[in-house]
Amino acid sequence: MLIVRHTNARGLPMGESNRLCLHPDEKVHQARALRANGATYQQVADAVGVPLSTAWRWCVGKTRKPPTSIRIARAKTPSQSNRQRQGRQTASWPAHTVSYTDAELEALRNLHGDIA
């Protein structure tokens, strides 16, 4: 299985790909859609269930900016997980990952030429 991670320009995970993410990407998209349809920041915050300042930052793009690249990795097998527990591999993976079907991956590759 392949795992897709959204990253910023420096290659760091962002959105749900980041293990410190508090809110799902769907909630951010919903907030931006409400604001685009003319809702006030307070109405957006109430509808989505976040503080006013969080809704404002999402809508103006201060935080949760769109990803600049997408990285695709293979999911770890049980043998890889065992090696990691034994200290032979120290790679850390985000807690939130998004998996796509082959058709969705092909569509992503067509949209973004920089999929690694």
pLDDT of residue 33: 94
- Amino acid letter for position 4: V
What's the full length of the chain, in residues? 116
The predicted structure's pLDDT at residue 56: 95
Say if residues 76 and 3 touch (Cβ distance below 8 Å): no
Residue 18 in this model has a pLDDT that exceeds 50: yes
Please state the rounded mean pLDDT for residues 39-65.
91
b/e per residue, 66-101, with b = 16+ CB within 10 A? ebebbbeeeebeeeeeeeeeeeeeeeeebebbeebe
Q: Return mean pLDDT, the chain.
A: 77
Task: State the DSSP code for 5.
Answer: E
* Tokens describing residue 81: 């997980």
Residue 47 in this model has a pLDDT that exceeds 90: yes
Q: Which of 58-67, 74-83, 102-111 has the lowest mean pLDDT?
A: 74-83
